[in-house]
Structure 1
């Protein structure tokens, strides 16, 4: 929503004065470490402030789905989701913290995390490139607010339709090749705009 201030602990709101620096011996050169060596959570597109909306061309293939439910059910309850991976539906009370995960997370908690305004990125471990791993880890590290987090996790089912799938509440975008600009556009459009407590 235009005019609203972002809230939460996202790195995009941090002061540049918090950046670590490297002082080169014998000189006065100071370099931000976040821009060096591909350190997770560092600089680059992943740490830039998001625009209010995503680029329409990058979002041309976004799919939208009906709401499958918003009720909390006891943890462990089997919930059938009509969309794979799910973009809405009944879910557990718990959520998944922002981060890059090597093991699948609970679908019931991931769906609740989407309701909180998160973007959940699924990846196929067999297709994950080192470039994508570093970039996705940085996205998750730089966007960790309770109501605007990024969670990255492997698919928890066989035969994913694409190597990477971006999900938000009722929205999905599949990527055949990793593209950080597309991730940025998707997050600009949907991050922090979940139905439970929109903060953007």
Structure 2
């Protein structure tokens, strides 16, 4: 008796199943590398406290919605809370500063915003920030990077979340990961973590 195409032996069936699992894993890994959306589960529940020990925390400056175009003076530079517009900024890497009223609302939604000095950004930092911007795209847990919205920034890089700020003298991928683990998805409007 010979095996037909629909009657694989037990060994052959096991081999096929194993290949299917490997193929599914490869597709999942490829999707993760391409930054296919929300990957919040890949972050630890909390950031490494030694890495984020220099995070500054500030009082809430409010979350009132104001009319687009309203000039708001924020207490921190870059801002970490305060009156803002009704719009938000999509996740991603930006070559130009986005409207601060929208950026602040995005922080309220649980985003992490990375600022960089365009004159100091390294290629490694650019590529890493682009990856973060492609990987965390959810409404309540997004990541965006943009140049500082003013001249003469205090440091080449800074990370912000609602009421929190970490200034970095040089790009530190471990600090970005720890900051995101601690604050991404934990905005006051609709915390998802």
TM-score range, shorter chain: 0.7 to 0.9
Instruction: Identify the residue that residue 96 of structure 2 maps to in structure 1.
Output: 103
* Ranges of 4+ aligned residues in structure 1 off by more than 6 Å: none
Q: Distance in 1 between matches of 2:97 and 2:59?
A: 25
Q: Give me the CA root mean square deviation.
A: 2.0
C-alpha contact (below 8 Å) 1:167/1:173 kept by paired residues:
yes
Work out whether 1:157 is the aligned partner of 2:150.
yes
Instruction: Identify the residue that residue 79 of structure 2 maps to in structure 1.
Output: 86
How many Å apart are 1:194 and its aligned residue?
A: 0.2
Instruction: Identify the residue that residue 134 of structure 2 maps to in structure 1.
Output: 141
Distance 1:161 1:145, change over 3 A: same
Which structure 2 segments of 5+ residues have no match?
Answer: 1-24
Compute the TM-score of the two structures, normalised by the length of structure 2: 0.82
C-alpha contact (below 8 Å) 1:41/1:47 kept by paired residues:
no
Aligned length: 167
1:141-175, Cα deviation, whole Å (9 max, x unpaired): 00001000001000010110100000000000001
Instruction: Identify the residue that residue 4 of structure 2 maps to in structure 1.
Output: none
Larger fraction in helix? 2
Between structure 1 and structure 2, the one with the greater Rg is 2
Instruction: Identify the residue that residue 28 of structure 1 maps to in structure 2.
Output: none
Which structure 1 segments of 5+ residues have no match?
Answer: 1-14, 21-31, 35-39
Compute the TM-score of the two structures, normalised by the length of structure 1: 0.79
Instruction: Identify the residue that residue 69 of structure 1 maps to in structure 2.
Output: 62
